[in-house]
């Protein structure tokens, strides 16, 4: 626990940088229509923020979507525009969803403040602006943003580690087991056909025995890269372990899955692998079993079992072939 906490602290601190860097400026955008208000805020924040000022909310939205701001200050002083509209747009764009928003409003605007907070605006300040208060509120948001980014990326990293096979970067069996039934349900609900390929490299033990385990690993990586290159973004490629793989192909009817399998099989067999002693190239072949889910009610395990049976038959018929 203590070691994990210490590692966590080191992570945060290296992220936040040294004290000097922590006090470094955050990148901020001010959206404000009035010249004297712009000047006053820029003056107050000159040591706290690297500030970009824009008068036009629509242009500011584009600016914010294309640059990594750490804070956006939105003034409510527009003569002809609802500032909450900008806030809500900023909250709905992927690129700005997690950027802190600070509303700069006038006294008597409690209603606007309440609606803004409901929209996900993080904080507000009321004119006349007290310089220390504005600096403190902005600094807090910068710190919060950096900490949240750190948490988000470390959580994402842990999730990736848990579902990824470290050798090849493909998904692992755990992910297949937890995710395949979702793909099946989606296919059934949309009346589409989902197919799976079960793949096993042929005589892979011989590759290891002849060239060594490292060359075997290299072949597994190169094979995985070829698989990745052959499939679409919606397909799911997994390494179950050893030299055994499963590819799930949503929206793919049996004959199409079979031709995808055949194309992959041929490419594997015909293009020598770079791995191997002195990079002289190594011929590797694979056997593939294909199964398609057409009727509702079949489980992921049953479908995989059918693909595996087909794979078994491909092996029995001499390997380096596809059986559907």
Q: If we measure between CA atoms, which residue out of 177, 159, 161 comes closest to residue 169?
A: 161
Q: What would the x/- binding string for ligand GH3 be over residues 179 to 218, using CB under 6 A?
A: ---------------------xxxxxx--x----x--xx-
Residues 216-245 touching ligand GH3, rule: CB under 6 A, are 216-217, 220, 242-243
Q: How far is CA 166 from the centre of its chain?
A: 17
Residue that has been written with the tokens 């904080």 in this structure: 123
Phi, psi angle pair for 273, to nearest 5°: -80, 140
235 binds, among ligand GH3, Mg ion, none (CB under 5 to 8 A by kind): none
Which positions from 27 through 46 interact with Mg ion, judged by CB under 5 A?
Answer: none
Q: Which is nearer to ligand GH3, 142 or 245 (CB)?
A: 245
Nearest-approach distance from CB 210 to Mg ion, in angstroms: 14
What are the tokens at 171?
């998904």
Residue count, binding to ligand GH3 (CB under 6 A): 16
Closest CA to 112 of 81, 142, 140, 135: 81
Which residues lie below 8 Å from residue 45, measured CB to CB, with a gap of 6+?
28, 51, 134, 135, 138
3-state secondary structure at position 310: helix
Q: Which parts of 155-184 interact with ligand GH3 (CB under 6 A)?
A: 167
- Residue 208, contacted partner among Mg ion, ligand GH3, none, CB below 5-8 A by kind: ligand GH3
Residue 165 within binding range of Mg ion, rule CB under 5 A: no
At residue 249's C-alpha, the angle toward residues 243 and 253, to 5°, is 125
Binding mask 203-232 for Mg ion (x = CB under 5 A): -x----------------------------
Annotation says 243 is catalytic: yes
> Is the Cβ–Cβ distance between 282 and 275 less than 8 Å?
yes
- For residues 191, 195, 196 and 201, what is the CA-based torsion angle, rounded to 10 degrees? -170
Comparing CB distances to ligand GH3, the nearer of 138 and 199 is: 199
| Residues comprising the chain, all counted | 324
Coil/strand/helix, residue 107? coil
Q: Which member of 66, 243, 244, 295 is catalytic?
A: 243
- Whichever of 74 and 286 has its CB closer to ligand GH3, that residue is 286
Q: How far is the CB of 242 from ligand GH3 (least distance, A)?
A: 3
Please identify, using beta-carbon distances, which residue of 33 and 200 lies nearer to Mg ion. 200
Does the protein bind Mg ion through residue 245 (CB under 5 A)? Answer: no
How far apart, in whole angstroms, are the C-alpha atoms of residue 231 and residue 220? 17
Q: Which is nearer to ligand GH3, 145 or 239 (CB)?
A: 239
Separation of alpha carbons 310 and 303, rounded Å = 11
Residue 68's CB: how many other CB atoms inside 10 A?
10
- Contact between 258 and Mg ion by CB under 5 A: the answer reads no
Site string for ligand GH3, 271-300 (x = CB under 6 A): ------------------------------
| CA 4/CA 6 separation, integer angstroms | 5
Determine, following the binding rule CB under 6 A, whether residue 315 of this chain makes contact with ligand GH3. Answer: yes
Q: How far is the CB of 278 from ligand GH3 (least distance, A)?
A: 18
- Using CB under 5 A as the criterion, which residues of the chain lie in contact with Mg ion when the complex forms? 200-201, 204, 243-244
Binding site for ligand GH3 (CB under 6 A): 167, 200-205, 208, 213, 216-217, 220, 242-243, 315, 319
**Active site positions, annotated:** 243
């Amino acid at each position: 626990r203590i070691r994990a906490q210490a590692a966590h602290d080191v992570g945060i601190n290296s992220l936040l940088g040294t004290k000097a860097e922590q006090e470094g400026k955050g990148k901020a955008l001010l959206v404000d229509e009035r010249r004297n208000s712009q000047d006053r805020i820029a003056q107050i924040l000159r040591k706290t923020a690297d500030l970009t000022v824009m008068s036009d909310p629509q242009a500011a939205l584009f600016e914010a979507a294309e640059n990594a701001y750490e804070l956006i200050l939105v003034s409510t002083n527009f003569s002809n525009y609802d500032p909450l509209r900008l806030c809500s747009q900023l909250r709905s764009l992927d690129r700005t969803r997690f950027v802190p928003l600070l509303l700069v409003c006038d006294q008597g605007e409690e209603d606007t403040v309440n609606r803004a907070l409901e929209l996900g605006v993080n904080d507000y300040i009321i004119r006349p602006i007290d310089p220390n208060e504005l600096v403190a509120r902005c600094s807090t948001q910068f710190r919060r943003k950096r900490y949240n980014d750190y948490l988000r990326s470390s959580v994402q990293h842990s999730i990736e580690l848990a579902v990824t096979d470290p050798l090849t970067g493909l998904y692992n069996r755990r992910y297949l087991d937890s995710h395949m039934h979702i793909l099946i349900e989606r296919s059934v609900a949309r009346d589409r056909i989902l197919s799976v390929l079960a793949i096993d490299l042929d005589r892979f033990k011989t590759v290891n025995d002849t060239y060594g385990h490292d060359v075997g690993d290299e072949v597994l990586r190169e094979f995985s890269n070829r698989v990745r290159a052959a499939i679409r973004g919606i397909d799911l490629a997994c390494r179950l372990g050893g030299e055994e793989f499963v590819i799930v192909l949503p929206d793919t009817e049996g004959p199409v899955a079979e031709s995808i399998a055949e194309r992959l099989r041929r490419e594997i067999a015909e293009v020598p692998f770079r791995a191997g002693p002195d990079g002289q190239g190594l011929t590797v072949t694979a056997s593939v079993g294909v199964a398609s889910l057409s009727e509702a009610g079949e489980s992921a395990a049953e479908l995989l079992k059918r693909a595996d049976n087909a794979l078994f038959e491909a092996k029995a018929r001499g390997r380096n072939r596809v059986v559907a």
